[in-house]
């Protein structure tokens, strides 16, 4: 112990300082976790985003077959696919951020891309004979709420919140 006083600002800074990355980054003592990564705007980038998030959820105590992990993975997959299909701008990656707020028992998922012109519309179920158009309907079904906002300096962020709690027997790292 260095004798340094711990202020609320210091506590907040420590909480915010959870480094991004798929390996070795557990939850803070007060139950928060954060992952922030950029991916290329390609189908492979969208797939890598989903795999990276599922791996990080495992480090937080959510196995790949838990309800929380499956729901978050599906939301990330849909939002990342939309970023690749509808938000691609040459030379610009899309950004994925997943925050676990243990005390609130929820995940907040944000996927940001470089195009503001094509914004998500209200989720509707596509006709049966359509091959696409169900992604946001799935997101709306799994999320407690979702929406989008402009991203500064360019683009947009589509976000969703998914209810979850730490699996039984798991404790923050």
Determine how many CB atoms are found less than 10 A away from the CB of residue 133.
12
Q: How far apart are CA 155 and CA 116, in angstroms?
A: 4
Which ranges of the chain have pLDDT less than 50? 1-24, 172-173
The per-residue pLDDT for 47 is 97
Tokens matching residue 25? 């980054």
| Residue 159 DSSP class | E
Contact predicate 142/162, CB 8 Å: yes
The per-residue pLDDT for 99 is 94
The per-residue pLDDT for 117 is 72
Contact predicate 145/160, CB 8 Å: yes
Q: Which residue has the tokens 């991004």?
A: 20
The per-residue pLDDT for 65 is 87
Domain borders along the chain are: 20-163
Domain topology for 20-163 = Heat Shock Protein 90 (3.30.565)
Q: Which of 95, 104, 99, 76 is nearest to 157 (CA)?
A: 95
The per-residue pLDDT for 13 is 38
């Amino acid at each position: 112990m260095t004798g340094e006083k711990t202020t609320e600002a210091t506590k907040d800074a420590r909480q915010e300082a959870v480094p991004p990355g798929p390996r070795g980054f557990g939850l803070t003592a007060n139950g928060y976790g954060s992952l922030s990564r950029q991916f290329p705007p390609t189908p492979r980038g969208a797939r890598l985003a989903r795999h990276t998030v599922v791996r990080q959820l495992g480090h937080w105590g959510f196995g790949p077959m838990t309800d929380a992990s499956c729901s978050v993975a599906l939301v990330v997959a849909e939002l990342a696919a939309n970023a690749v299909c509808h938000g691609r701008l040459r030379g610009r990656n899309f950004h994925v951020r997943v925050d676990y707020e243990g005390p609130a028992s929820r995940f907040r998922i944000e996927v940001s891309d470089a195009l503001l012109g094509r914004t998500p519309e209200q989720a509707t179920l596509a006709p049966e004979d359509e091959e696409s158009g169900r992604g946001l309907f799935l997101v709306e079904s799994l999320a407690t709420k979702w929406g989008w906002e402009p991203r500064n300096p360019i683009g947009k962020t589509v976000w969703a919140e998914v209810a979850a709690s730490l699996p039984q027997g798991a404790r923050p790292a």
